[in-house]
Structure 1
Amino acid sequence: MKSRTKILVPVDFSPTAERAFRFALRIGTLLTAEIHLLHAIYPQMENLDQPLQPSASATLTRSHLVEEKLQLLIEAERERWKNGGWPEIFTHVEIGNAISVIKARIKAQAYDLIVIGTRARHEAMENMLGTVASDVVGNTSCPVIVIPEQTGDLPISRIAHAIEPRWVQEDMVSAVINRFRPLHAEVHLVRFSDLPADEPPRQLLALKTALGDQFPQLPVKTHRLSKQDLIRDMNQFIEREKIDLLIMYRSASGILGRLFHRSRTRLMARHTRIPLLVI
């Protein structure tokens, strides 16, 4: 039986990737998780005067240098760490295209969570991950957290769940709440609906009642947002309610399922101002 949560963090040594690592450390400590840092390198090529052939010695040298950089990254974060405890950290340097390496590792290993850093206009994601973030969010069953550039070190005290009751079941939400229970965070259930603003979201209230029975000490609030402009309305809601983590659920249908079409995923990740967890 699996005894410890495993978190994968692809890194390219950019400030954004370091921020994602920092976030993973916070979550990993609370969840008693182990963290796996992954960096992919292209094979070094031989002299251009000759037919292009991978250079094993040059690639090996670069691999050693990258491993040293990973250890320096870990040491730097350890020195600034003030939260108590420290998760076990593993490093992986693999040769190949970054997208292929990351996707292959996700497929081969039983990770519980992937933490990916990004910044405005996706420079980091394009350079390091290419389209892998969209593929991971849209196709893998593993939860993924996208960490935007402006993510700080403040505690996570309010978590919003974007809910479509037709396909997000009570057991799905309760499992996520239970996983993040060590955060002691307030829960906000958000439904996108075309109903009049004064009409209570009955399905959401029923979910709130059920969760209250399971987690009697947990503060749970419900909200209704319009379907007109999901990104704008969600970001306004995040700012108004001071939400620290946004959770969305994958689906093959429904408005949120369509939201996580590849292009929409990239758009949402670019515009959200807080960490986005896709389950």
Structure 2
Amino acid sequence: MKTILYATDCTRHATPALRYAYKLSEKLNARLIVLSVYDLPPVLVSTIRAPKHRSRMAADEHMMVLHNYCSRYLKDRMSADIVLDVVESPSISDGILKRCHALQPDLFIMGMKDEHTLRGYFSGNIANAILAECPCPVIMVPNQLRYRKLRTLVYATDFEERDLQAIQKLVKMAAPYDAEILVVHIPTKEEYAGMEQMEWFKELLNQQVDYGNIRFNMIFADSIQEGLGAYVQDVRADLLAMLQRDSGRSFFSKLLHRDQVKIMESRSKIPIMSFNERCLQSSL
């Protein structure tokens, strides 16, 4: 992994996500880019300065705000490996996606929705747009989370070949920590071939993924969401990874639709890593 992009609204409540991004980049030996998206205030339109000059002044001001923010909350951990980036956009999601496509990071990190964030930074359509369009995997970090070493990563599977691609990417993050990857499936009451599917999936995974620290589990529960939530608590997971599925081919597919990823996000106290179709074609 070479580059991690983290977007922030520069509020105090977002600082745990900033520190998480920094610690992760340090362990993965990746360059960290800290991004802030801003919009030009309407009052600037009526000034006598040329538009190009106004834009440059606004960019300089926001860069100073971002620099002061990172210096304050990262303190002596600020280094040449951290790159600060600001972009002007009336749409936060458009600004973020623009930089994601331009910078081609291996991983994008954002904080989860919080009532303290200005403008609801990653709520509603903003998060949905990023989850759907981001060209790399996305990690959503609870704003009150304290970084801890990754020991146990849970990947929720529906035994699709695309899951193999996502797990290959997850291994790139697990390997530097020597973390265990727990691949879990939660069958519905109508699903009778779960064990056979798991054996088929395990065989494919062993052929395509070179990582020895992977275990498989099947959890039976009345509700998939409740079962998955209870499982990540029982194993004390440090991260939950999901593949976005837009089809309704199974009940489990509905759980991992990007709208349901947002539901899991709202209930989760650990980071959630989301893979979409676009990022599966890139290298992590």
TM bin, normalised by shorter chain, reads: 0.7 to 0.9
SS of corresponding position for 2:240: strand
Confirm or deny that 1:278 pairs with 2:274.
yes
**1:145 matched residue in structure 2:** 139
RMSD: 3.5
C-alpha distance in 1, partners of 2:14/2:24?
Answer: 15
Confirm or deny that 1:108 pairs with 2:105.
no
The answer as to whether partners of 1:115 and 1:146 remain within 8 angstroms in 2 is yes
**1:236 matched residue in structure 2:** 230
SS of corresponding position for 2:43: coil
The answer as to whether partners of 2:265 and 2:272 remain within 8 angstroms in 1 is yes
C-alpha distance in 1, partners of 2:264/2:127?
Answer: 12
**2:68 matched residue in structure 1:** 72
Q: In 2 relative to 1, CA 34–142 (structure 1 residues): closer, same or farther, beyond 3 Å?
A: same
Confirm or deny that 1:44 pairs with 2:41.
yes
Q: Identity over the aligned pairs, expressed in percent?
A: 17
The answer as to whether partners of 2:185 and 2:217 remain within 8 angstroms in 1 is yes
Range with bigger deviation, 225-234 or 202-211: 202-211
C-alpha distance in 1, partners of 2:216/2:79?
Answer: 35
The answer as to whether partners of 2:151 and 2:177 remain within 8 angstroms in 1 is yes
The answer as to whether partners of 1:157 and 1:183 remain within 8 angstroms in 2 is yes
Equivalent pairs, count:
270
SS of corresponding position for 2:260: helix
The TM-score, its normalising length taken from structure 2, stands at 0.79
**1:250 matched residue in structure 2:** 244
SS of corresponding position for 1:46: helix
Q: In 2 relative to 1, CA 249–212 (structure 1 residues): closer, same or farther, beyond 3 Å?
A: same
C-alpha distance in 2, partners of 1:256/1:87?
Answer: 44
C-alpha distance in 1, partners of 2:236/2:133?
Answer: 30
The answer as to whether partners of 1:116 and 1:133 remain within 8 angstroms in 2 is no
Q: In 2 relative to 1, CA 120–73 (structure 1 residues): closer, same or farther, beyond 3 Å?
A: closer
Picking from 80, 88, 104, the partner of 1:95 is 88
Q: In 2 relative to 1, CA 46–187 (structure 1 residues): closer, same or farther, beyond 3 Å?
A: closer
Q: Which amino acid aligns with 2:96?
A: I
C-alpha distance in 2, partners of 1:176/1:115?
Answer: 14
Q: In 2 relative to 1, CA 171–106 (structure 1 residues): closer, same or farther, beyond 3 Å?
A: closer
Q: Output aligned runs, 1:125-164, within 5 Å.
A: 127-130=120-123, 131-164=125-158
C-alpha distance in 1, partners of 2:183/2:103?
Answer: 32
Confirm or deny that 1:15 pairs with 2:12.
yes
Confirm or deny that 1:63 pairs with 2:59.
yes
Q: In 2 relative to 1, CA 257–80 (structure 1 residues): closer, same or farther, beyond 3 Å?
A: farther
Q: Deviations over 1:205-229 (max 9, x none)?
A: 45446656754652x3322234743
Deviation at 1:176, TM superposition (A): 2.2
Q: Deviations over 1:216-252 (max 9, x none)?
A: 652x332223474333222211111100000001233
The answer as to whether partners of 1:45 and 1:55 remain within 8 angstroms in 2 is no
Q: In 2 relative to 1, CA 134–86 (structure 1 residues): closer, same or farther, beyond 3 Å?
A: same
**2:164 matched residue in structure 1:** 170
Q: Output aligned runs, 1:190-229, within 5 Å.
A: 190-194=184-188, 201-208=195-202, 215=210, 217-218=212-213, 220-226=214-220, 228-229=222-223
Q: In 2 relative to 1, CA 166–139 (structure 1 residues): closer, same or farther, beyond 3 Å?
A: same
The answer as to whether partners of 1:150 and 1:274 remain within 8 angstroms in 2 is no
C-alpha distance in 2, partners of 1:125/1:228?
Answer: 38
Unaligned runs of 5+ in 2: 276-284
Q: Deviations over 1:107-147 (max 9, x none)?
A: 333121110102456x6385224522111212334100000
C-alpha distance in 2, partners of 1:15/1:256?
Answer: 37
Range with bigger deviation, 97-106 or 197-206: 197-206
C-alpha distance in 2, partners of 1:196/1:63?
Answer: 56
